[in-house]
Amino acid sequence: MFVRKRATFLVLSVLFFVSCGKEKKSTEAAVKMQEFVINISSYAKNKNSNFCIIPQNGVEIAFTKADTSNGLNQAYLNAIDAYGVEGLFYGNEDSPDEYVLAMLQKIKKTEVLLVSDYLEDNSLIESAIVKNQNQGFLCFPRSKDDYNYNLIPDSVIHENSNNITQISEAKNYLYLISSNNFNSKEEMLSAIAHTNFDAVIIDLFFNDEALTQQDLSSIREKANGGKRLLISYMDIGSAEKYRYYWKKGWSLGNPSWLKKKYKDYPDEIWVKYWDTDWQNIIYGNENSYLDKVLNAGFDGVYLDNIEAYYFLYHKQ
């Protein structure tokens, strides 16, 4: 009996220390993600002081050491211009996510909040809009056929003809990072040009071709004549096998910073984003991803997979 109790104690002790070890690594990784975003912001704003930085998800890192009891991390908030969140009220198993909502209520005092909810039932679209508006959040409700951000909604929330020069002026936005529904780059650009969204989040690339300043000039104005912001999607927490930087022979663990499989996304791998080689791919030199975004003439960047700091050390 004593042996059994002792064995149980040892198992629990091991589980406790493993859990604590994971939490410590996750916290350290969260701080590194804060630093990563701040450095990306500093680099971009040094080239264009009006450049907009919008991280998506991983809301905890807006707080010191990713701990809400420590208060907001002002250096991090100073580096960003807005915050994006997926599945707040609809779209995730735990939606509505009261934990995230409580953090967002603190963050919104200084930051614009962009929420993308996914509606499996289109009758809930109006509900998503109202819930976000009641919180003071910009809402992009995705219909049941728009899980992969490949559709342009027929209507625009709070449509207006104002000139939008910074994200704080936006009253709505379009999130369109998949081009699968378009036969050509020209078709996609034309579809966007005929809308009145204040801000448009799109990918830098159409298929493997990077958009140019000329391409962006064709969609910089809303159909009603008002100016809008053009924001480029950029994944900084996982490597995407279909991107220009991916090299033949790369696989999980090779290079070593390709750290962990990304569940349900076979073309992506979670990365050790603090690794110098990965960071050199993302920013800091004329061949970096961020420089390609800047050279194309985008007004900002939408940073995805911020929550890599958590999923590197926890189950998805």
Domain-embedded: residue 220: yes
The answer to whether residue 4 is domain-embedded is no
Question: Is residue 199 assigned to a domain?
Answer: yes
> What is the per-residue pLDDT for 19?
57
Pairing relationship of beta strands 199-203 and 229-235 according to DSSP bridges: parallel
User: SS3 sequence, the chain?
Assistant: CHHHHHHHHHHHHHHHHHHHHHHHHHHHHHHHHHHHHHHHHHHHHHHCCCCEEEEECCHHHHEHHHCHHHCECHHHHHHCCEEEEECCCCCCCCCCCHHHHHHHHHHCCCCEEEEEEECCCHHHHHHHHHHHHHHCCEEEEECCCCCCCCCCCCCCCCCCCCCCCCHHHCCCCEEECCCCCCCCHHHHHHHHHCCCCCEEEEECEECCEECCHHHHHCCCECCCCCECEEEEEEECCEEECCCCCCCCCCECCECCCEEEECCCCCCEEEECCCCHHHHHHHCCCCCCHHHHHHHHCCCEEEEECCCHHHHCCCCC
pLDDT tens digits for range 185-239: 999 999 999 999 999 999 999 999 999 999 999 999 999 999 999 999 999 999 9
Classify residue 68: in a domain, yes or no.
yes
Specify the amino acid at residue 177: I
pLDDT digit string (tens) for the chain, length 316 residues:
323 334 444 444 444 444 567 788 889 999 999 999 999 999 999 999 999 999 999 999 999 988 888 999 999 999 999 999 999 999 988 778 888 999 999 999 999 999 999 999 999 999 999 999 999 999 999 999 999 999 999 999 999 999 999 999 999 999 999 999 999 999 999 999 999 999 999 999 999 999 999 999 999 999 999 999 999 999 999 999 999 999 999 999 999 999 999 999 999 999 999 999 999 999 999 999 999 999 999 999 999 999 999 999 988 8
- DSSP-assigned beta bridge partners for residue 238: 270
Residue 5: the pLDDT is 36
316 in a structural domain: no
Strand 300-304 to strand 229-235: parallel, antiparallel, or no bridges (unpaired)?
Answer: parallel
Token pair of 80 as six digits: 């960003």
Backbone angles phi, psi at 53, to 5 degrees: -115, 120
Side by side, the strands of the sheet bearing 138-142 are 82-86, 112-118, 138-142
**Distance in angstroms (rounded) separating the CA atoms of residues 76 and 38:** 6
95 inside domain: yes
Task: Answer whether residue 10 is part of any domain.
Answer: no
Place of tokens 């996609």: 188
Q: C-alpha angle with apex 160: 126 to 164, nearest 5 degrees?
A: 115
- Tell me how far apart the alpha carbons of residues 38 and 56 are, in angstroms, rounded to a whole number: 14
Token readout for 261 is: 């499989």
Range of the domain at 86: 21-311
CATH code, domain with 129: 3.20.20
Q: Quote the number of domains for the chain.
A: 1
pLDDT at position 24 is: 87
The answer to whether residue 173 sits within a structural domain is yes
